[in-house]
Amino acid sequence: MTTTFERLVACPECDCLQREVALPEQGTAECVRCGAELYRNQPQSLDRTLAFVLGAAVLFLVANAFPIMSLDAQGLRTSSTITGAAWALHEEGMTSVGLLVFTTAVLVPALEVFLLLYLLVPLRGGVIPRGLRLGFRIVDALEPWGMVEVFMLGALVALSKLRHIATVHPGEALYAMAGFILLLTAAAASFEKRAFWHRVAELGA
């Protein structure tokens, strides 16, 4: 049996060992030595995260089902969804770049939302979902690879570039994507690892 130390925290960035202090609501503890964020105190962390993720899930579906924008030129109209943009690269023989776009803009965010729901909904109801440990590790590892906000900036740049040569109509998905980014960011800011594991311990893993 491995002993654990609940009262001490180590900085993930400089390994400095320090005593845990109680925080006011919304407070953040920073490492005394390197300034990295150590932990936060978000009241009802898991409930808030779940609420934001539920909203994000709905907007994610909208953002992927409708076109980001459409283009009118010479009496012709083209439009594209996020996946359509990745697929266009594949059709042009750039499957690797298409996969990169699909992975970072669609697959990773979809997995993040799905796994968070898979973990948090049962925990809310007092059940520990199967594969909780693996699910948690995957969500944590995916974090750097979700790039919807970067895609959004890219879409806006494309939109203003195309405005010079044709009539561009922003699509429903563009607005849904903006909402999705806000909600997913709010979910990430509300999610506290320690609250998550505290809940798991309460339920007796």
Partner 1 sequence: MMPTAARHGLLLCPRCELLSRRPPHGMSFGCPRCGATIAVRKPHSVLRAWMLLSLASILYIPANMLPVMESGSIFGTQDDTILSGVEFLWRTGSWGLAVIIFVASIVIPLAKLGIVAFLLATAQGRSVWNPRARARMHRFMTLIGRWSMVDIFVGSMLVALVQFKTVATIHPGPGAIAFGAVVVLTMLASLSFDPRLTWDPVDRFHA
- What tokens appear for 57 in the block? 């899930």
C-alpha angle 134/4/142, rounded to 5°?
25
Q: Residue 33 in contact with residue 143, Cβ under 8 Å?
A: no
For position 8 contacting partner 1 by CB under 8 A, the verdict is: yes
The least distance separating partner 1 from the CB of residue 40, rounded to whole angstroms, comes to 12
Q: Which stretch binds partner 1 (CB under 8 A): 45-53, 54-62, 96-104, 119-127?
A: 96-104
Applying CB under 8 A, among 21, 27, 30, 73 the residue interacting with partner 1 is: 73
- What tokens appear for 9 in the block? 């925290």
Q: Which stretch binds partner 1 (CB under 8 A): 22-30, 98-106, 110-118, 122-130?
A: 98-106
Backbone phi, then psi, for 45, in 5-degree steps?
A: -50, -50
Applying CB under 8 A, among 23, 162, 178, 188 the residue interacting with partner 1 is: 162
| Residue 170 to residues 152, 173, 193, Cα–Cα distance (Å) | 12, 8, 37
C-alpha angle 106/107/113, rounded to 5°?
90
DSSP label at residue 7: S
3 state SS of 127: coil
Q: Which residues, numbered 109-138, are part of the site for partner 1 (CB under 8 A)?
A: 133-134, 136-137
For position 21 contacting partner 1 by CB under 8 A, the verdict is: no
- Summarize as ranges the residues that interact with partner 1 (CB under 8 A): 2-5, 8-10, 12-18, 33-36, 39, 68-71, 73-74, 76, 78-80, 84-89, 92, 94, 96-98, 100-101, 104-105, 133-134, 136-137, 140-141, 144-145, 147, 150-151, 153-155, 157-162, 164-165, 193-194, 197
